[in-house]
Chains A and B, each alone.
Chain A
């Protein structure tokens, strides 16, 4: 199993729909989990992070964490064409000096 795994996509959703992005990870004493968005030709930008089991909401974004299943997801409500980007999941590995390891990213396309 890869350390951090994401479906590469592309995931296509119509404007206004909910986009659901998923990420699974190997358990290495991981403590915290981050979602980044990356537009083509730009640097990754933080959307949100989560470290406790359950849901965390920030505006149109909801992160969900299930440590027992080693699964973290990001929901984007009322998807907009401007949400079209690559979404990167990152996991903090405590035992490796707090190393942040990224998945390969999921391409999201929101069609108007």
Chain B
């Protein structure tokens, strides 16, 4: 059983297109995240949702819009894709408490040409 699953694994698209990445977790966690990992491997938080409510919204272009239909799902929609959006996007979930670790999905490698 995959704990945190995201689709698609690879996404190749052209500049200006709109794309979505889906994420689902079966761990029963209330909090889910989107992280972006750039070519230098730096993992940067983008958004966090707790039980469908937006908790963390980092300085991210408003072309990026997360949506959480329920606490087990967190999707990421990206409008008007740019070359700089090319990266690996990781979904993660986390249980309650500051000692709870993040559980990552396998990542979506987005390539914008």
Contacts and interface: CB of A to CB of B under 8 A. Distances in A.
B98 A32 contact: yes
| Secondary structure dominating the interface of B | strand
Interface stretch (A20-28, A57-65, A68-76, A93-101): A93-101
B48 A99 contact: yes
A98 B102 CA distance: 11
B34 interface: no
Mostly helix, strand, loop or mixed at chain A's interface?
strand
A49 B41 contact: no
A97 B57 CA distance: 11
A88 B92 CA distance: 15
Interface string A64-108: 000000000000000000000010101010101111111011000
8 contacts: A43-B107, A49-B99, A88-B43, A96-B56, A97-B50, A102-B43, A104-B42, A105-B43
Nearest to A38: B41
Interface residues of B, number: 24
Q: How large is the interface on A (under 10, 10 to 19, 20 to 34, 35 or more residues)?
A: 20 to 34
B104 A105 contact: no
Contacts of B90: 43-44
A51 B99 contact: yes
Given A97-B50, A105-B41, 5 more contacts: A38-B41, A43-B105, A46-B102, A86-B41, A97-B55
Question: Which of B101, B103, B104 counts the most A-chain CB atoms under 10 A from its CB?
Answer: B101
B101 A34 contact: yes
Interface of A: 31-32, 34, 38, 42-46, 49, 51, 86, 88, 90, 92, 94, 96-102, 104-105
A55 B55 CA distance: 32
A31 B98 contact: yes
B45 interface: yes
Nearest to A47: B101
